Amino acid sequence: MCGIAGILSAARTVNAGAVQAMTGLMAHRGPDGAGLWENPNGRLVLGHRRLAIIDPSPASAQPFVAGSIVLTFNGEIYNYREIRAELITRGHVFATEGDAEIIVAAWRQWGEACVEFFNGMFAFALWDEDRNLLFCARDRFGEKPFLYVEGDGFFAFASEYKALLTLDGVSAAVEDGRLARFFVAPADGLDRDERTLFPAIRQVPPAQVMIVDGRTLERRSACYWTGRPARKGRRPSLPEAAFAFRDLLADAVRLRLRSDVPVGSCLSGGLDSSAIVCLARRELGESTPYHTFSGRFPGTSADEGPYMDAVAAATHPVRHEVEPKPENLLAELAQFSWANELPVDSASQYAQYCVFRLARQNGVKVLLDGQGADEIMGGYEQYFSAYLRGGGTDSPLIHSRYGDALTQVQPWHTRLPPGLRRLLARTVHKGSDISFGLTGDVRIERRPPPANLHEALCRDSLDGFLGTLLRYGDRNSMAHSVEVRLPFTDHRILEFVQGLPVEYLMGDGETKRLLRTAMDGILPDMVRLRWRKHGFVPPQVAWLHQTLLPAVEQAVEESSLSPLWDRAWWRSAIRRFRAGDTSQAAGLWKLLACESWRVHFLAAMASRHKFQPLL
């Protein structure tokens, strides 16, 4: 896990000092070393910050040079040993034990198709001097970032926005409409297409490669994976599918335990992280110490302690716990906003930030986590609508366990034009839609509802909020120099799930039915058969009442309040919250997060020295 950066020019000399400044701003991503490589004509400089995980020897330091090929790489190729064995049979010889050299050899063997062999999370840039091209690639789900700009005579890339924004000529202007749409409909995300919140900065979308011509800087992109289901054979029974899935998930965990430094797990009281801890224990055996890291909210309904205790009793980990508190969030809001680079949609991301820091404080550099299972396997109760729409069998259990998922009736006023809805809400002082607090109309292009469950899961996994959640995970973990690995985003799992009948996923009123069935006898039933667990969410209402509301009030009254927000509406929302209208909590948090980001990221970047990318 690392930070990567580089600048390529077709005709002029690159300022190596600019690349060094870019990687310096990302030192948190790689505190174990720094590297810089410049090609002989001075028209390409690659930079790297290293977090040593696999083969921490100097031989695997980056940028990794192998003859005419140079690589700067962020992430891990989990199946590097299997690929290495295959490449050895094809005549390749290796000088290191790491995965960076595997990427170089795979490029030599298979060219652009090399990424199809990789099981991992990655973003890399590979310079091929003989072909005079820069080959850039990003993993299938977009776990690792790849941001870039096309400047006047140069192409620059980096792992984080702050690195690119330090370049002269790269504007930090924000597309306010896109920002507003994110707050109104966060499920649409900011992370799935080429555009970003900054018009000057673009990104390589997940599951894409991009070739940059070294002579002309012309770009060519291609998608290498779409999540299509694995080839179908005989339809398995549910027990057979669950058995096969358990082996597949266990293998995903096994691959992600590969490391030359300590590995642990996040542990909440939910099905996903608990399943990973149980499978990791089976893989490691009882004698190997295994550390888990949890966030607790004692004395509130958000506390997951009893469920964590049940998993711990079955797996005997070395437990570590932290209690995120609102006063600490307020004290750390500047650092938290700087680390995340974009506004944060929920206070739950601060809790995640605290758990990752706890791991680093205890000497664990790699964590397994359960992110992605809800979107890939049908973990949200709202998926029951798509399940039934596509022919899934109705069941009384759906209505008894998840009745709200099917009884939500669209109020008449939601069908009014946005401007009229806003006027009505302001007149009667009701409503919690954050769009009411915006100064202008925010037009959301509503996609038609998914035709079936598989479409809903594929959409959310590959073109929905999961991408934003992965960005949060990347920034929050990297802020503390911790690598997070996600077994459920093993691409084989999505392909497998997409090929199964929907009854195996949400039949009999069960979310994530396949996972629950597969974990029978492995995961304590107290967790396995738990219904209506809603993520790792702090008591946000209590946090506002206890500590955060004065900060929101201060932000609303600041003369520098973003023109995005209608000050009068938010004054009213604060009054209503104080009077007991807790539906305002989510909006109040979003305003605080946005204004903190403007002050602690945008303004902080504006005050920094800019570097000329070219000499």
How is 508-552 classified by DSSP, letter by letter? GG-TTHHHHHHTTTTS-HHHHT------S---HHHHIIIIIHHHH
What is the 8-class DSSP label of residue 489?
Answer: G
Look up residue 101 and give its two tokens.
Answer: 């050299």
Report the distance separating Cα 548 and Cα 513, nearest Å: 39
Look up residue 509 and give its two tokens.
Answer: 């009123």
Pairing between β-strand 33-38 and β-strand 483-485 as defined by DSSP bridges: unpaired
Report the distance separating Cα 77 and Cα 87, nearest Å: 15
What is the 8-class DSSP label of residue 195?
Answer: B
> 290 and 266 in contact (C-beta within 8 Å)?
no
Torsions phi, psi for 54 (to 5 deg): -110, 130
Look up residue 119 and give its two tokens.
Answer: 């099981």
Look up residue 96 and give its two tokens.
Answer: 């290191």
Look up residue 373 and give its two tokens.
Answer: 């299972």
- Name the active-site residue from 2, 136, 266, 594: 2
- Helix count (H) and strand count (E) of the chain? 26, 17
Radius of gyration of the chain (CA): 24
> 38 and 90 in contact (C-beta within 8 Å)?
no
Whether 594 sits among the annotated catalytic residues: the reply is no
Cis ω for the linkage preceding 324 (within 30 of 0) = no
Report the distance separating Cα 597 and Cα 575, nearest Å: 24
Report the distance separating Cα 13 and Cα 44, nearest Å: 8
User: Does 99 show up as a binding residue in the annotation?
Assistant: yes
Q: How would you write 5-74 as a 3-class SS string?
A: EEEEECCCCECHHHHHHHHHCCHHHCECEEEEEECCCCCEEEEEEECCCCCCCHHHCCCEEECCEEEEEE
Binding site listing: 99
Binding site listing for L-glutamine: 99
> Which residues carry out catalysis?
2
